[in-house]
Amino acid sequence: MNPLKQVAGVVSKPVEAVSKALQTPTSRTTPGGIARILRPRPSLAEILDGRIVMVTGGSSGIGRATAIELGRAGGTVLLVARGEEKLRETADEVEAVGGRAYIFPTDLTDMEAIDKLVATVIDKFGRVDILINNAGRSIRRSLKLSYDRFHDFERTMQLNYFAPLRLMLGLLPGMRERGFGQVINISSIGVQTKVPRFGAYIASKAALDTVSDAFQAETQDEGVRFTTVHMPLVRTPMIAPTSLYDNFPTLTPEEAGHVICDAIIERPRRYSPAFGRVASFADSISPEIMDFVRNKGFKMFPDSAAAGRKGEAAEKSAVEQAVSSAQRLFVDITPGTHW
């Protein structure tokens, strides 16, 4: 039997089991049930009135697009990233559309620099109402190529987990004291689908997801909301080294930014793509079936030249640049997933 037909059959079973519950593209677990649904939806401008929003990774990609949309709604945005020049460019764009922007060039892998950032912001503004932990590092590299690269796991944990955790520990006391706050963590559909080659990346994101769940349990009645966004593949500089993704359907940074701004309005616990929810549900029922699916995907797509394939040229190969009909079908079956 054709392996792709096998995969399609395996995936279709859990899909059929939960399809009626998954008719919308995004899961929005919001408080208040029916009463919240019937309430008029506020605008982003209304939500941001008098609020201060911090966006990490604000110099490009999702962070930049989010900041501009916040600015269009009249928001006050604190932009954090390493590069001062690009931060200034984003700040100019935010102010050009009607917002207020302040830049804070910071190396988020430096814990002392984060502490200084928190102290500076609190001294200048008194608070941060909404923290968007967007800055991150992704590494696509198989286990075989990772035996001597423990530092890959250290680097992803440093930026993707320890940095946002340090920010939360610095800003949450004020949020709890004031009885209002929101932390939006940009996670990945990979945490739900547990994709191969991304062990370092999804482990760091899963750690952030889990610690936020624990924090939410402690602050549930204090007006503080933790929102996890399981973002599907987005066309940003982060995925540029993997030329295979040139053939994958992706969100634009602007579409991803809109999801984040929507999360500010809705204040859900999680935003998740439909396939991510299907995969997570199927995995909870039978991880063995999902292991089979993931293994098929792993065998179907190669490591990229950027991952350092041993014994191969460093330039982009033809197999990376072109996607076969079988690969295309697999991508269509698993939308938003980065193989």
Cβ atoms of 73 and 102 closer than 8 Å = no
Interatomic CA distance for residues 298 and 142, integer angstroms:
9
DSSP 272-310: EEHHHHHHHHHHHH-HHHHHHHHHHHHHHSPPPGGGT-T
Among candidate residues 161, 201, 245, 271, the one labeled active-site is 201
Which uninterrupted H or E stretch holds 46? helix 44-48
Total length of the chain: 339
DSSP state of 246: G
> Is residue 201 among the annotated active site residues?
yes
Torsion on CA atoms 312, 318, 322, 327, rounded to nearest 10: -40
Interatomic CA distance for residues 100 and 93, integer angstroms:
10
Cβ atoms of 182 and 31 closer than 8 Å = no
* Side chain identity at residue 126, one-letter code: G
**Positions marked catalytic:** 201
